[in-house]
Amino acid sequence: MSDRIFGVVGILLSALFIWRATVIQESFMSDAVGPKTFPIIIGTILGLASLYFIARPDAEPVWPRFTGLIEIFMAIVVLIAYAIALPELGFAITTAIATAYLSWRLGSPAWQALLAGLLTSGGLYLVFRVILGLSLARGPFGF
Amino acid sequence: MEVLQSLADGFAVALTFENLGLALIGCFLGTIIGALPGLGPSNGVAILIPLAFTLGLGPTPAMILLTSVYYGAMYGGRISSILLNIPGDEPALMTTLDGHPMARKGRAGEALTLSGIASFVGAFFATWGLVFLAPLLVKVALLFGPAEYFALFTLAFATLGGIASRNQAKAVFAAALGLGIAMIGVDGQTGVPRFTFGEVHLYDGIDFLVAIVGLFALSEVFVFIEQAATRNRGERHQDDHPKIGRILPSWSVIRSCTPSMLRSTVLGFLAGVLPGAGASLGSFISYSIEKRLVDKEGTFGTGDPRGVAAPEAGNNAAAGGALVPMLALGVPGSGTTAVLLAVLLSLNITPGPLLFQNNPDVVWGLIAALFIANFVLLALNIPMVGMFVRILMVPTRFLMPVVAMVSFVGIYGISGSSFDLLVMIVFGVLGWVLRKLDVPLVPIILGILLGAAMEKNLRRAITISNGDWTTLIHSGLSITLWVIAIVGFVLPIIVGPALRGRMAMRRDEESSAVD
């Protein structure tokens, strides 16, 4: 079933891709092939492979149960929040929080996770900013 | 010997204080990355590319650092195979068969040292193979026109799934997806934007480093989170680690393993050079052939030292062999060499025959660095193996967050924009879903990397022939390439199931013989 759904998504993707390829603005100067042909070939191949998934699906993969999906979803949310907050709040604070969260969800007790967050953030700051001199995101306090 | 002269020049480039230091750091990090279950050569190199890039390293130092990581990871994979019976990376799978039984018998130290020596033999002679074979391949590649290159790219995609590929349709899907992603951005030849949906960030296209780090490194983090959620809380599997025992194997053991190492080196190297084979198959073939040749008493699978030496020599030789097509043709044959290709491209160096002419210092400096890395690795791995074992004990619940954060630091360092970080997360999630569905990730990377060059060669070929598409199959060379591509694509569908069955069977057989 997963493969069939995947196949349908693939076909939609290929249709979208081919449609977007046909509406590419042609420039006045063009070669014999033009900017549309290769993308259309690729889109077609994508669609054919997807048709195969619908016709001959593989065995069902083991999906995580509902709690597992929630875990993944929450991790994604935290990472997105991290990506957005990074330039605003700076490297040190955001990294400590994100690391602590991930470490906690990977099975560390809360206090260990918190410590892991602080140590990881501090350690990476030391290695990349102080020793290697990379520019990390600066927050309102300068770190 | 023109080749030896070039190599000597290469050593002159590589033997600077900075480069030696980078080789040392790279080997050290690589061994750790290879030893950790879940992180292999390709994700290890992937995480470190953005860093090498933001550090402002020149092409040669950056390549030296990252190929040291690559070789180091190939060495390191054996440590957890032997001690924990968990392969550190896929090619190290065959090493578990005799390595872990040896460890159980209290000969873990010997197994580690012996496999270290075997890795050295394999990688050292494979690097010599690279020295002599790559320039020959370059001579052939100089005959290539756009039509031949287009055929060569197709060949690379067709054979990438490998002989043991499970589902060729999924490999095709992955390749097309990667090529499609490569089309995003302004068309290089006519200057029109494609698939940008008016988003300015997309005019430059999707940065392949962002895609690589997302697909390889970040998706791994999601896999671990999923496992943590599925595993029962409280159940903490604490393996009793076998004692290391004596470190140095006796001379008679080393002598008895030498023929196995040498034969496996040749086989592994060939498996590495050939498109679609790679290190996993290299170690599998080496082990199988050795078992057939020397296993008279049926000791393979119960801790025979030769069964440790053969696959390790084989997979490290294959790692060296895989660099031949990557450097000489610009077409990688494996996941990690695809990632190394990304390094070169991001440093504005296009591998292929012209690289040998225009940047001999890069090529030969790199090859010299491989020799140096080998000796460094041998020196690191034998006396310090105990330290790597201790690092292996750091639980993943502390390690994986670090991996995630290093990925973010690297990508943020390149562009300084949240947009790229968000794209990376999207690729991380995509990578997790595709892994679940058994879609290989390497063709996606290769598609993103080669898409622009593939299209350029196609359009150039057709333009030269005034719109005649049959030009793609005009020369004998291109017809040969097309035939290899078709055979390489169809063969796994025919022999794949049988071969995979044997690989799985052998593993079950051997491990059940132990328990």
Work out the angle between the directed axes of helices B219-230 and B418-436 (0-180°, nearest 10).
50
Which residue from B191, B412, B455 is facing A86, i.e. has the nearest CB?
B412
Asked if the model's pLDDT at residue B234 lies above 60, the reply is: no
- A139 assigned to some structural domain: no
Instruction: Give pLDDT, residue A96.
Output: 92
Q: Please check whether residues A38 and A86 belong to one and the same domain.
A: no
Name residues whose C-beta falls within 8 Å of residue B444's C-beta, 6 or more positions apart in sequence: B174, B175, B177, B178, B181, B211, B215, B434
pLDDT at B510 over 70: no
Can you tell me the mean pLDDT for B159-164? 66
Of the ranges A39-48, A52-61, B76-85, the best mean pLDDT one: A39-48
Q: Which domain holds residue A74?
A: 66-131
């999630």: which residue's tokens?
B429
- What is B148-177 written as a DSSP string? HHHHHHHHHHHHHT-TT-S-HHHHHHHHHH
Decide if pLDDT at B471 tops 70: yes
- Please work out, in degrees rounded to the nearest 5, the angle formed at the alpha carbon of residue B374 by the alpha carbons of B373 and B376: 60
What's at B306, amino acid-wise?
R
Q: Say yes or no: A74 and A124 in one domain.
A: yes
Classify residue A61: in a domain, yes or no.
Answer: no
Across the interface, of B176, B409, B428, the residue whose CB is closest to A49 is B176
B459 vs B164 pLDDT, higher one: B459
Residues from chain B that touch A105, judged by Cβ atoms under 8 A, are: 225, 228-229
Q: Which residues of B162-200 are buried (b: 16+ CB within 10 A; e: fewer)?
A: bbbbebbbbbbbbbbbbbbbbbbbbbebbebbbbbeeee
Contact B229 A32 (CB under 8 A): no
Q: Which residue has the higher pLDDT, B389 or A14?
A: A14
Work out the number of other CB atoms within 10 angstroms of the CB of residue B359.
18
- Give the residue carrying structure tokens 């929630």: A70
Of A19, A36, A55, the residue at which a domain comes to its end is A55
Distance CA B304, CA B21 (A): 37
Whether residues A77 and A49 fall in one domain:
no
| Cβ contact, residue pair A53, B169, below 8 Å | yes
Contact A98 B404 (CB under 8 A): yes
Residue A88 lies in a domain: yes
Q: Could you tell me the pLDDT band of residue B238, with boundaries at 50, 70 and 90? A: very low
Average pLDDT, chain B: 81
Query: What is the signed CA dihedral for A106, A110, A112, A113, rounded to 10 degrees?
Result: 50
Residues A76, A123 within the same domain: yes
Total structural domains in chain A?
2
Q: Does B408 touch chain A (CB under 8 A)?
A: yes
Q: Are residues A22 and A70 in the same domain?
A: no
**Chain A interface mutation, best of B237, B418, B446, highest count of A Cβ atoms under 10 Å:** B418
The tens digit of pLDDT for each residue in B112-139 reads 888 888 888 998 999 999 888 888 888 8
Subunit contact B425:A10, Cβ cutoff 8 A: no
Indicate whether A72 and A111 sit together in one domain.
Answer: yes
The answer to whether residues A99 and A50 belong to one domain is no
Beta strands at B193-194 and B185-186: parallel, antiparallel or unpaired: antiparallel
Average pLDDT rounded to a whole number, residues A75-84? 93
- Identify whether A73 is part of a domain: yes
Contact assessment for residue B309 and residue B293, using Cβ atoms and an 8 Å cutoff: no
A77 & A39 share domain:
no
The verdict on A73 and A117 lying in the same domain is yes
Q: Are B257 and B306 in contact (CB under 8 A)?
A: yes
Q: Which distant-in-sequence residues (6+ apart) come within 8 Å of B49 by Cβ? A: B66, B209, B212, B213, B339, B342, B343, B346, B410
Pair (A50, A83) in one structural domain? no
> 10 Å Cβ neighbour count for B514?
15
Structure-token pair, residue B357: 């002419």
Q: How many interchain CB pairs under 8 A, A with B?
A: 197
Q: What average pLDDT does this structure show over B275-293?
A: 77
Q: Do A45 and A87 fall within a single domain?
A: no
For residues B302 and B297, give the distance between their C-alpha atoms in angstroms, rounded to a whole number: 11
- pLDDT (average), residues B13-34: 85
Residue B422 vs residue B352, higher pLDDT: B422
Average pLDDT (A61-84) is: 89
Average pLDDT of the segment spanning B381-401:
77
Is A78 in the same domain as A113?
yes
- Please report the pLDDT score of residue B512 as a whole number: 46
Q: Which chain A residues are within 8 Å of B205, Cβ to Cβ? A: none
| Residue A32 falls inside a structural domain | yes
